[in-house]
Structure 1
Amino acid sequence: MTEQRPPLPPFTRETARRKVRAAEDAWNTRDPHRVALAYTPDSRWRNRTEFLTGREQIAEFLTRKWRRELDYRLVKELWAHDGDRIAVRFAYEWRDDSGQWYRSYGNENWEFDRVGLMAHRHAAINDLPITAAERLFHWPLGRRPDDHPGLTSLGL
């Protein structure tokens, strides 16, 4: 039996919001193996043009991602929820190894199993080159502070 990963479906607005923040917090650790544990062992992903199945492929993907996307900081926001599904919009800032900064915008559709693990993740993402002066996410690497504005407050 898999350990539960609360909050569990069916989601209310509050439990969906907490699930989104937990995902944001995990991704901001940039620990691929920790993040992969939030997904079912056979989780199916679409991320841009990549299709992944299972925790091992997810961890490998995230390892590659965070080797390329340096100084990664992510903000997620609940868009909608229904039963065992959550829709999220997000933005993250990162730089490449040449020092070019980007803000990546996207939407995700999530579906969870009964113990709160994500079984499906579909992500659409666009990258916008920005200058260092245009950056909006300035907290130290790791969890976004509770008092840092979210996407709506930042006008994103």
Structure 2
Amino acid sequence: MSATSTPPHTPRPPFPPFDEASALAKVQAAEDAWNTRDPERVALAYTEDSVWRNRDTFVTGRPAIVEFLRAKWARELDYALRKELWSYTGNRIAVRFQYESHDATGQWWRSYGNELWEFTDDGLMRRREAGIHDVAITESERRIFGPRPESEKGLLLPVR
């Protein structure tokens, strides 16, 4: 199967309606997946016709999500992400996040944002809306080094 062909439908627990524990688990699963920087793996968490708004870019469908993520991680090198549950209700979750990466020139960036997620009954995300703002940082200002260690799962993100 090619990276852009549609894989068999696979439910993705936890399922809505979300309670605090299941919402926290869904957020951690998303963080863990995105930190793999594997577009094909990440795209499997979305419906085949999932609709995204990411900054000023609109993406629809898994093949487009895979291509979007390939381009993203080709630009955003050494990407490392932290997500935090903000709110949940029914089949929706809101998160805040931070990630750090550097560009091809070596400039480091910390990107802050919020995401709104909507899920199907089988736990796949059908809608993702992300607002993101970038701040140039020096390498010495970095605070996110790879995937979150087990000992830090569930901890809140620094506000600064």
Query: Considering the TM-score relative to the shorter chain, is it more than 0.5?
Result: yes
SS state at 1:99 partner: coil
How many aligned positions are there?
153
Alignment partner, residue 91 of structure 1: 98
Residues 136-155 of structure 1: pairs in structure 2 closer than 5 A = 136-138=143-145, 141=146, 143-148=147-152, 152=156, 154-155=158-159
Does the Cα contact within 8 Å between 2:82 and 2:157 map onto a contact in 1? Answer: no
* 1:10 and 2:12 matched: no
Following the alignment from structure 2 to structure 1, what is the Cα–Cα distance between the partners of residues 117 and 157? Answer: 24
Residues 78-121 of structure 1: per-residue CA shift (max 9 Å, x gap) = 00000000000000000001110000000000000010000000
Does the Cα contact within 8 Å between 1:2 and 1:115 map onto a contact in 2? Answer: no
* 1:49 and 2:56 matched: yes
Counterpart AA for 1:59: V
Residues 15-47 of structure 1: per-residue CA shift (max 9 Å, x gap) = 000000000000000000100000000000000
* 1:121 and 2:125 matched: no
Counterpart AA for 2:62: R
Does the Cα contact within 8 Å between 2:111 and 2:134 map onto a contact in 1? Answer: yes
SS state at 2:152 partner: coil
How high is the TM-score relative to the length of structure 1?
Answer: 0.93
Alignment partner, residue 4 of structure 2: none
How high is the TM-score relative to the length of structure 2?
Answer: 0.91
SS state at 1:97 partner: coil
Instruction: Pick closer, same or farther for the CA change 1:151–1:95 going to 2, 3 Å.
Output: farther
Identity over aligned pairs, percent: 59
Unaligned runs of 5+ in 1: none
Root-mean-square deviation (Å): 1.5
Residues 36-94 of structure 1: per-residue CA shift (max 9 Å, x gap) = 00000000000000001000000000000000000000000000000000000000000
